[in-house]
Structure 1
Amino acid sequence: MPGLLLDTLNGKRGTRVPLWLMRQAGRYLPEYRALRETKGGFLAMAYDSEAACEITLQPIERFGFDGAILFSDILIVPHAMGQHLEFLAGEGPRLSPALVDAALEDLVADHSRYDPIYQTVRLCRERLSDEVTMLGFAGSPWTVATYMVAGEGSRDQHDARAMAYRDPAALQAIVDAITDETITYLQGQIDAGAEAVQLFDSWSGSLAPDEFERWVVAPNARIVSALKASHASTPIIGFPKGAGEKLPGYARETGVDAVGVDETLDPAWVARELPAGMPVQGNLDPLLLLAGSDRLEDRARAILEAFADRPHVFNLGHGIDRRTPIDHVHRLIDTVRSFEG
């Protein structure tokens, strides 16, 4: 029998609201920190299928979430496309050569880098109960392109945005290549046992409306179309962080099955503007979960009430902060699971 989360993503409303948290497998958990001390750096753990599966399952064992999100990173795709990838302590990921001054065609792909990720999915699906949905994911082409072009993350995605205006054909080639890779990568995750997948577009909010159409909507629509052709029954969650008023158009035009909502949007507006019956995911502010003030339960209930008339997956507006206390997560879970809408 499908789990509650999978049913909800397929448009059904159950007896309660399913719950999972973005970045739920990670540094806020003491068991994760303990494992990392023995296993080495982040990338080494992502490519160690046994370790990655253990990390994926840690929050399920501790909290009983309805979904297990694959422990990996959106930059696996550019790594497989031929960029060198490393994670520097205190500085974040670095990709080289940066495509702002290097040629895409000079990269030498190594698709074997996907294999341990697929094995992680297989191991997790084998070890999870049927009630827990196994979630795969990939970065959306625009967000991945911003890292590939600059060689690192940035606050305003300057290099990729400038390339989009200065040399749109060059950026189009990069985005097209990422789109093709992402289709292959997500198909592989689904074949390995992922029951739903999420497209993370963490930097979609930096684009002007016409640029958003070209670099966010169009490539995501192509990914969704390809996945629907090959894996029609697998729900796809689109998460265009920062989309704002462009979110309803994204939901209609990409063809995603469900939409993730960040914390900047009023859930009542989202419930009113999204296509009728479309499942929605979100949208508690991760910093409110970190703070754990008296407002935590009130805000969680307000979100639940706003989305009470459509299929709703409770989640954060982005990833859980690494400093979040465990007891705050338990408070949130209790609030969501005791809700009667």
Structure 2
Amino acid sequence: MIPTGDAMTGDTARHDAGPAVVTGWCAIALGAAVVAAGASGGIAADSVPLGLAATVVRGGADLAALLVAGAALAMILAPGRVPGAGRMLIAAVPAWFAVLLVEAVVRSSIMAGESPATVRPADVVGYLTGPAAGTGLIVAGTATLLLLGCAAGLPAGSGHGAGPAVLVLVIAVAGAAAPPAFGHAAASANAVIAVPGVVLHVAAALLWVGGLGAVLVLARDPVLLADALPRFSRLAGWSVGVLAVSGLLAATARLGSPAELVGGAYGALVLVKIVLLAGAAALGGLTRRRLRAGRVPVLAWAGMEIVLLLAAVGVAATLTRTA
């Protein structure tokens, strides 16, 4: 599903995604979240600062989960040969936990009708122990603490062994899926369909987007890429299928009728997300055909695909808030 690019030589992938690069991709996703929230009415005119804060922290939590998943997938696709994956994991997990703490404060301030600066600890506790959405944050926070333990147990110079990496991936899926699953999905009249659909949707998204990021790192080493690309190509194909089916289930459970796709803010966001994911899937499919034909694409193809996917992540963050 993913393009290769101009490769650099080297026996081991020693290159990490630099902070500036990671920050750039994150800015794209957060920007998409803010634009989607504003265009759909997800940010109320009388509470713009809180609406922006809630959108950014939710998108930030999703992005941290993607970084964790990408680090784990790099270890799985090229065991022992991507030392930067362990460092990314150690950096991303605490960041994820910190964003969740900020989100708890922002959410509790919205519920209490106060500024985040004046929120009391009792308000935060009340939010976390009250609505189901608070439970989702508790589950996500617990997942990040478990991930800290996994990261601490990784060998120095990491990436060795897929076992711990698979565990990291499973916990990351649980942590990323908890807020939407305990929020709008659980509150849906068709929760029996919506909740499993959301969990599968999040898992597929983490595998596709996180795996894409891992492959972009591996693309600098032609030897590693030759080993990793076929595995990820199969994984991405299954992820796209699961993403489509689970997204349809989740949307069906949330929307009363197909007419709501064009008659409301939530439906409009669903349509935008469908277009973005379809565009990314089309790029991936085109790349796959080029590879089979022996034509090597450039990294620009991967860049376009990941821009569309990160924009979809931003829209998903808004959907979580507006549902």
TM over 0.5: no
Q: Highest relative contact order (Cα 8 Å, sep 6+), 1 or 2? A: 2
TM-score of the superposition, structure 1-length normalised? 0.29
Q: What TM-score does the superposition give when structure 2 sets the normalisation length?
A: 0.30
Structure holding more helix per residue: 2
